[in-house]
Structure 1
């Protein structure tokens, strides 16, 4: 996992260098507000990033990042690595992270999952606990407000592909971890988050709502584009969309 984090930081650096940044404050003022490796939320709001999936995917291909999923002897090995990677990437979408890191991490989560679908017959689902799902929804709401629609589209494509799995924990545990999971439920889950039953019901409603939206879009698309595939439209949008 340490090797993945090093590769992650390398890809992130390349992505940041490739993405254009326009500063609305003097450089001296911005420099003084950046005292550590993670930009403060105030400093992040003073910068405008041109972030798009097309920029990210070019960086991804340049570093041949998909190779991290190759060479596993069995599915158990792949599952263990994938769950750790997904857990780490979801943690980097938290609201306290700089927005460029949040979007980058979600792009990577999205891309690695679809790489799996081409390499393995049964791709490992993205395990979402209540905290990670709340963070992800926060990112989607922000992206919608900022018209970062490729993030919204990527989220919905994963939703439609049944890539998410609502779980009590972001990692799998055996029966001997029952006491640990009970303690986890009582101590580490914020009180303000909905109960599991309410949360799961909202998750299902979110998916059904999007499927209904897709059906309406498909009907309109068939009339206007001679039954052109909706997935092709999504692909074109991903390749050309930007902030």
Structure 2
């Protein structure tokens, strides 16, 4: 859904300049390739504003950025993606330190922060741009993600939910979103908005899981509270 109050000027650039862009919260550079001790993955789980905040709060996450992936249009604008004609999804790029946090922790956040059974929508936001997706950069990550899907599907069925609609695919070309979207919920003057519909079903252990984050970290996310991410601090959680 294109919010009526968000009307970027037509002169808004389609892509970032080649200059390095600093994360508004973490102060890391959002448009650099992962270092040797790092890895990356892309998640789509509805509107990317709230989704990005979920991930930047996790200990061990080096940087995050929002953008568009999975479609055919080159250098799309937000308005073009919202039209539904580009076939791109709103996604969050997550770069993490492999010694501090595991991909299974990131998958836990992904599954629990939205309702993956909703097809091409999340709450009031409808359209293919809001579809649930995982775009991986390694074959092993695709296998782990698939294992986590199988596990979460069983747990959802026990709790009365339907089939997961999430697409898991090898890396798609990623286009950074306009600068004003990056870490939007942490910026002065933002209008808090989140359409995510968490199922309140926790991801359990699964083949390939190697959780590193403590229970205390996850206690910061109470999915029974409506829009709990909006209500939480912008600062990353101390492990």
Q: TM-score range by the shorter chain?
A: under 0.3
Counting strand residues as a fraction of each chain, which structure ranks higher? Answer: 2
> TM-score of the superposition, structure 1-length normalised?
0.28
Q: Which has the larger radius of gyration?
A: 1
Q: Which has the higher helix share?
A: 1
